[in-house]
């Protein structure tokens, strides 16, 4: 018996491995209170939602969310499979395309995944319910789910027949939790970690910084609108009666009227300033620093949040490319992998197909032209193959050619 037969004999009997290590040791998890067999719930969703509605956080979220949701995409045969060898490949590719373009009665692909991307960026918890239809022309339906209501069973052992997730509905009684199997829910985690079943959203990382920025802008707003007094009048040797009369006269006759106050006294009142009376009192540099920290939390260059200092025409293009590669590409690939693995693989069992965003695979036109020219000169590609790659029709054969 050769070594090939011996190796083949080892794998003929399928044995499901049993995990020995604990998924979430309670001594390490920051979400205390949960024990074996209990579900764990994501924390602070209300504050995250509220902060997501502030201008700077909304700008950072939209830069990533809108770019991904508006990308062109395709469904294709997966690497490792040959199109001609996949049964009904064209018909099934068309069915997958239609099902994703119209995932349910009220959503399109963009509106559905905009909601999912919002939850992913805010709290690291994007969720989509997946259900089969039995219709060959549209084999599945997808619905967006509030990821903050999803609980994760930390004791789930991989058994497809046991619920892995549960949704807290807010109701009382038996309807308080809706159990969901692993192949019924797509749960997208951003920044997954070993000590918690939840992801880490980019707004969570910037939570304290956004809070500090809101405090700084509120103070600057009150200061700029003169609701915060920055000076006082000092009257030397004034009696209490004169002091009281001056206060009432100022409040009743001068304040808010636009009149020119006229004072007659033996000594000129002195103005005491509590601040410098310049833009430094608004703490603009501190606010700019906070904007840079928020941009770092979202993996974005500060330029995209309005910080244009030290940015010129030459560096703007590089910063935009950096933003695409660091902030947009990882999230887009995460969504694409979940659609391929959860919808196509787990729910449908069609592992021959994959979902990809076309914009992620596009290269610079000049770079692509240079690569194709070099491959053509080296004899790796033919003219017909290059024309096919560039979407051009094949050349017609000349008459009289051998």
141 falls within a domain = yes
Residue 228's pLDDT is 61
Does residue 245 sit in the same domain as residue 167? no
Q: Is the pLDDT of residue 285 over 80?
A: yes
Residue 11's pLDDT is 46
Q: At what angle do helices 109-123 and 55-69 cross, to 10 degrees?
A: 140
Does residue 269 sit in the same domain as residue 303? no
Domain boundary among 273, 306, 327: 273
Does residue 241 sit in the same domain as residue 190? no
Residue 68 in contact with residue 117, Cβ under 8 Å? yes
**Which phi and psi (to 5°) does residue 29 adopt?**
-75, 135
Q: Is the pLDDT of residue 307 over 50?
A: yes
213 falls within a domain = no
- Read off the pLDDT of each residue in 277-305 and give the average, rounded to a whole number: 88
Residue 349's pLDDT is 93
Give the percent of the chain with pLDDT over 70.
Answer: 83
Residue 331 in contact with residue 68, Cβ under 8 Å? yes
Does residue 197 sit in the same domain as residue 237? no
Which helix or strand (DSSP H or E) is residue 365 part of? Answer: helix 365-377
Residue 32's pLDDT is 47
Q: Which carries the bigger pLDDT value, residue 62 or residue 282? A: 62
Does residue 176 sit in the same domain as residue 316? yes
Does residue 341 sit in the same domain as residue 236? no
Q: Residue 88 belongs to what domain range?
A: 22-204+298-389
Report the distance separating Cα 152 and Cα 157, nearest Å: 12
For residue range 100-150, what is the model confidence (pLDDT) as tens digits? 999 999 999 999 999 999 999 999 999 999 999 999 999 999 999 999 999
Residue 235's pLDDT is 76
226 falls within a domain = no
For residue range 322-352, what is the model confidence (pLDDT) as tens digits? 889 999 999 999 999 999 999 999 999 999 9
- Of the candidates 141, 143, 188, which has an alpha carbon nearest to the alpha carbon of residue 165? 188
What residues pair up with 233 in beta bridges, in sequence order? 271
Domain boundary among 240, 273, 306: 273
What's the structural domain count of the chain?
2
17 falls within a domain = no
Q: Which residue matches tokens 């991904």? A: 68
Residue 41 in contact with residue 168, Cβ under 8 Å? yes
Average pLDDT score, the chain: 84
- Of the candidates 88, 67, 155, which has an alpha carbon nearest to the alpha carbon of residue 359? 67
Does residue 102 sit in the same domain as residue 247? no
Residue 402's pLDDT is 46
Residue 333's pLDDT is 96
Does residue 119 sit in the same domain as residue 250? no
Q: Which carries the bigger pLDDT value, residue 28 or residue 173? A: 173
Does residue 86 sit in the same domain as residue 235? no
Residue 164 in contact with residue 314, Cβ under 8 Å? no
Does residue 237 sit in the same domain as residue 318? no
Q: Is the pLDDT of residue 362 over 90?
A: no
156 falls within a domain = yes
- Of the candidates 69, 134, 144, which has an alpha carbon nearest to the alpha carbon of residue 106? 144
Distance, first Cα to last Cα, the chain: 55
Residue 287 in contact with residue 215, Cβ under 8 Å? no
Q: What is the pTM of this model?
A: 0.76
Long-range CB contacts for residues 52-56, cutoff 8 Å, separation at least 24: 52/118, 52/122, 52/203, 54/210, 54/214, 56/210, 56/213, 56/291, 56/294, 56/305
């Amino acid at each position: 018996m050769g070594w090939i037969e011996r190796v083949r004999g080892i794998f003929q009997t399928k044995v499901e491995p049993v995990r020995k290590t604990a998924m979430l040791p309670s001594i390490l998890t920051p979400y205390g209170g949960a024990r074996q067999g209990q579900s764990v719930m994501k924390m602070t969703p209300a504050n995250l939602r509220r902060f997501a509605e502030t201008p700077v956080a909304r700008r950072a979220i939209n830069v990533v969310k809108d770019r991904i949701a508006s990308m062109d995409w395709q469904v294709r045969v997966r690497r490792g499979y040959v199109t001609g060898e996949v049964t009904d490949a064209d018909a099934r590719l068309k069915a997958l395309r239609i099902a994703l373009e119209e995932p349910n009665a009220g959503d399109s692909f963009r509106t559905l995944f905009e909601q999912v991307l919002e939850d992913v960026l805010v709290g690291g918890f994007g969720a989509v319910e997946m259900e089969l239809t039995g219709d060959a022309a549209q084999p599945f339906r997808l619905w967006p789910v509030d990821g903050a209501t999803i609980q994760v069973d930390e004791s789930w052992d991989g058994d497809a027949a046991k619920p892995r997730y549960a949704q807290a509905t807010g109701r009382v009684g038996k309807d308080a939790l809706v159990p969901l199997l692993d192949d019924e829910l797509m749960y997208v985690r951003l920044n997954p970690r070993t000590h918690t079943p939840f992801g880490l959203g980019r707004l969570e990382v910037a939570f304290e910084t956004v809070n500090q920025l809101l405090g700084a802008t509120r103070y600057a707003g009150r200061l700029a609108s003169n609701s915060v007094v920055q000076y006082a009048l000092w009257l030397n040797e004034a009696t209490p009666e004169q002091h009281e009369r001056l206060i009432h006269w100022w409040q009743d006759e001068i304040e808010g009227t636009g009149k020119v106050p006229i004072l007659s006294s033996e000594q000129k009142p002195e103005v005491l300033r509590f601040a410098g009376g310049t833009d430094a009192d608004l703490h603009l540099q501190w606010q700019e620093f906070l904007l840079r920290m928020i941009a770092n939390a979202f993996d974005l260059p500060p330029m995209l949040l309005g910080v244009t200092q030290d940015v010129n025409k030459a560096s703007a293009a590089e910063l935009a490319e950096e933003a695409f590669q660091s902030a947009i590409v990882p999230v887009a690939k995460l969504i694409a992998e979940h659609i391929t693995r959860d919808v196509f693989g787990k729910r449908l069992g069609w592992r021959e197909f994959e979902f990809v965003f076309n914009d992620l695979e596009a290269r610079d036109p000049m770079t692509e032209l240079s690569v194709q020219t070099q491959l053509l000169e080296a004899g790796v590609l033919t003219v017909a193959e290059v024309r096919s790659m560039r979407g051009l029709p094949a050349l017609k054969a000349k008459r009289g050619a051998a």
